[in-house]
Amino acid sequence: MKKLILAFTLAATPALAASGPFFSLGNTDFIVTLAFLLFIAVLFYFKVPGMIGGMLDKRADDIKSELDEARALREEAQTVLASYERKQREVQEQAERIVAHAREEAKLAAEAAKKDLEASIKRRMAAAEDQIASAEASAVKEVRDTAVNVAVAAAAEVVAKQMTAAEGNALIDAAIKDVSAKLH
């Protein structure tokens, strides 16, 4: 490396552009060249290129460790993502099972409600039929009672028109005797 620097220094040849003798302290080009060479020597004496190389190596190692850490984090993130995707699928399947179960229960509940409604309708129809039969029986009884009352009134009127007072009194006396005989 030293040879390369020396070759570049001599190849630049700023000394060739100066007038007068090159190796004199009055020549600024010579002084600049000496200062540059002295600066390069000081850098090599204090091992600055080694320190710079060490710093660059350290920086490369830091970058490498950060890349390794990033890879590890990426793999961990992929593992976590796969786990969450698996959990999501499981939850989705469970939700589908719950929905299917709820639909089945709703269907069964609807069928049970339909059966209960049919039974309730049958009970109400039976109760209505019983009420109708009862009302019909009551109406028939009322009609019979009315018919009996009308028949009795008509018979009483017919008998009253055809019978004389003496015959009526005789019938009443006979009825009283008949009742008293049956009672004693």
| pLDDT score recorded for residue 27 | 83
Read off φ and ψ for residue 18, nearest 5 degrees: -80, 155
Question: CA angle, corner 78, sides to 73 and 79, nearest 5?
Answer: 95
Give per-residue pLDDT as tens, 25-83.
778 888 899 999 999 999 999 999 999 999 999 999 999 999 999 999 999 999 999 99
Residue 66 within any structural domain of the chain:
yes
Range of the domain at 72: 23-104
Q: Is the residue at 81 inside a domain?
A: yes
> How does residue 165 score in pLDDT terms, banded at 50, 70 and 90?
confident
Provide the token pair at 96. 């589908």
The conformation of residue 128, written as its DSSP 8-state character, comes to H
Is 74 contained in some domain? Answer: yes
Residue 131 domain-assigned (yes or no)? no
CB–CB of 44/2 below 8 Å? yes
2 is a domain residue = no
Say how many domains are in the chain. 1
In a domain, 30, yes or no: yes
Q: Which pLDDT score, from 0 to 100, does residue 5 have? A: 62
Query: Higher-confidence residue: 5 or 128?
Result: 128
Please report whether residue 35 resides in a domain: yes
Dmax (CA) of the chain: 196
Contacts of 19 (CB under 8 A, 6+ apart): none
30 contacts 24 by C-beta, under 8 angstroms = yes
Residue 51 falls inside a structural domain: yes
H helix and E strand count, the chain: 4, 0
pLDDT the model gives residue 176: 85
Question: Do the beta carbons of residue 9 and residue 36 sit within 8 Å?
Answer: yes
* pTM to 2 decimal places: 0.39
Looking at residue 6, what is its pLDDT?
Answer: 56
**What is the rounded CA–CA span in Å between residue 125 and residue 137?**
18
Other CB atoms within 10 Å distance of the CB of residue 33: 19
